[in-house]
């Protein structure tokens, strides 16, 4: 997986409320879709004060999925803003 499984599962459950227990393959596919959608923007908008380790990348992607914005660029920008204001910890 590209991101930590617990954050991928949280994002999956938020988007698929009726399907609460995805198979491992479904979760792996969802993770790859998140990677394809967001990873380039995570790198492009990188903040020098936020190391892109496994936890931070995972939570940034989760935050991006919860943004009301339409484009991945704006969703990731919102994710970084929220991260900077909340400073989540593993």
pLDDT of residue 16: 93
Confidence check: pLDDT of 90 > 90: no
Confidence check: pLDDT of 86 > 90: yes
Confidence check: pLDDT of 88 > 90: no
Confidence check: pLDDT of 49 > 80: yes
List the domain range (segments joined by +) for residue 69. Answer: 5-86
**% pLDDT > 90, the chain:** 90
Tokens of 87: 């400073």
Tokens of 61: 């992607």
User: Distance between CA 58 and CA 39 in Å, rounded?
Assistant: 10
User: Distance between CA 34 and CA 30 in Å, rounded?
Assistant: 6
For residue 37, count CB atoms less than 10 angstroms from its CB and return exposed for 0-12, middle for 13-18, buried for 19 or more.
middle
Number of structural domains the chain divides into: 1
- Taking Cα atoms as reference points, which of 29, 38, 27 lies closest to residue 79? 38
pLDDT of residue 17: 86
């Amino acid at each position: 997986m590209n991101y930590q499984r617990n954050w991928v599962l949280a994002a999956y459950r938020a988007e698929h409320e009726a399907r609460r227990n995805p198979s491992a393959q479904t979760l792996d596919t969802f993770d790859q879709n998140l990677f394809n959608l967001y990873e380039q923007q995570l790198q492009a908008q990188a903040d020098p004060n936020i190391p892109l380790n496994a936890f931070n990348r995972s939570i940034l992607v989760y935050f991006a999925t919860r943004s009301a914005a339409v484009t991945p660029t704006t969703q990731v920008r919102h994710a970084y803003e929220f991260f900077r204001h909340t400073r989540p910890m593993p």
